[in-house]
């Protein structure tokens, strides 16, 4: 890939990471390139799974929807040949699992889970997660408040206090 193309891709990604709803014509203007270039690169990157989706950051709390988010530390025994991948797969295939990360340090996998109630989350841990043979132990932490998520400070909206006109 030539340098210019790579540069454009990075510019596009950086922009849409924060604002995926921008229309292509406008993005082209902002980046100083042709609209077709932006459209082509985005289509290619979608195909290559560089762009994995266009999601929306929601403050469910504000929306009045009860939601429990848990961070679960999981210690596991890695399997021969497959390492952690197979165990991770067994966990991430559950739809209620929001994210699974392999972690360095005192435990192996960090699983984030979204459920409607505490009970639902604890049932998942006791009925699905813990019984997996390779799982040695789990520690569940419930999120009490999200201050910042995906690089965005939740609920932050500040009025400008600048003067209207200055030289």
Partner 1 sequence: MTRNPLSKKIIDIQPSGIRKFFDVANEMKDAISLGVGEPDFDTPWRIREEGIFSLEKGRTFYTSNAGLQELRNEICKYLERKIHVSYDPKKETLVTVGGSEAIDVGLRCMLDPGDEVLIPQPCYVSYLPCTVMADGVPVTVPLQHENEFKLTVEDLEKYTTPKTKVLIMPFPNNPTGSVMTKEDLEPVAEFVKEHDLFVLSDEIYSELTYGSEHVSIASLPGMRERTIVINGFSKGFAMTGWRLGFCCGPEVIIEQMVKLHQFAIMCAPTISQYAAVEGLRNCDDEVQEMRKSYDQRRRFLMNEFKRMGLECFEPHGAFYVFPSIREFGMTSEEFATRLLNEEKVAVVPGTAFGDCGEGFLRISYAYSLEDLKEALGRVENFIRRLRGEE
**Which residues inside 5-64 make contact with partner 1, applying CB under 8 A?**
26, 29-32
156 binds partner 1 (CB under 8 A): no
Pick the closer one to partner 1 by CB: 47 or 162. 162
DSSP states along 5-62: HHHHHHHHHHHHHH-TT--HHHHHHHHTS-HHHHHHHHHHHHHTTSS--------TTT
Stretch touching partner 1 by CB under 8 A, among 57-65, 100-108, 142-150, 156-164: 156-164
- Least gap, CB of 36 to partner 1 (angstroms): 16
Stretch touching partner 1 by CB under 8 A, among 41-49, 100-108, 111-119, 158-166: 158-166
Q: Which of 2, 104, 106, 166 binds partner 1 (CB under 8 A)?
A: 166
Residues in the chain: 167
Give how far Cα 108 sits from Cα of 91, 126, 139, Å. 13, 18, 12
Buried b (16+ CB within 10 A) or exposed e, 11-48: bbeeebeeeeeeeeeebbeebebeeebbeebbeebeee
Q: Which of 1, 63, 144, 164 binds partner 1 (CB under 8 A)?
A: 164
DSSP H helices, 57-129, are 85-92, 118-123
Give how far Cα 79 sits from Cα of 76, 84, 101, 139, Å. 9, 7, 17, 21
- Least gap, CB of 160 to partner 1 (angstroms): 7
- Least gap, CB of 15 to partner 1 (angstroms): 8
Query: How big is the site for partner 1, counted in residues (CB under 8 A)?
Result: 12
**Which residues inside 55-114 make contact with partner 1, applying CB under 8 A?**
none
Judged by the rule CB under 8 A, the positions of this chain that interact with partner 1 are: 26, 29-32, 160, 162-167
């Amino acid at each position: 890939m030539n340098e210019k193309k790579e540069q454009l891709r990075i510019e596009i990604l950086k922009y849409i990471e924060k604002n995926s709803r921008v229309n292509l014509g406008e993005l082209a203007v902002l980046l100083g390139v042709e609209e077709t270039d932006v459209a082509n690169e985005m289509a290619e990157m979608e195909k290559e799974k560089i762009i994995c989706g266009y999601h929306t950051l929601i403050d469910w709390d504000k929306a009045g929807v009860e939601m429990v988010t848990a961070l679960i530390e999981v210690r596991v025994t890695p399997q021969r040949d497959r390492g952690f991948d197979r165990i991770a797969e067994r966990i991430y295939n559950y739809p209620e699992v929001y994210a699974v990360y392999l972690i360095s340090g005192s435990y192996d996998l960090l699983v984030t889970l979204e459920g409607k109630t505490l009970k639902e989350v604890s049932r998942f841990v006791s009925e699905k997660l813990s019984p997996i043979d390779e799982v040695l132990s789990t520690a569940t932490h419930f999120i009490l408040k999200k201050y910042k998520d995906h690089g965005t400070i939740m609920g932050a909206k500040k009025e400008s206090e600048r003067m209207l006109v200055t030289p």
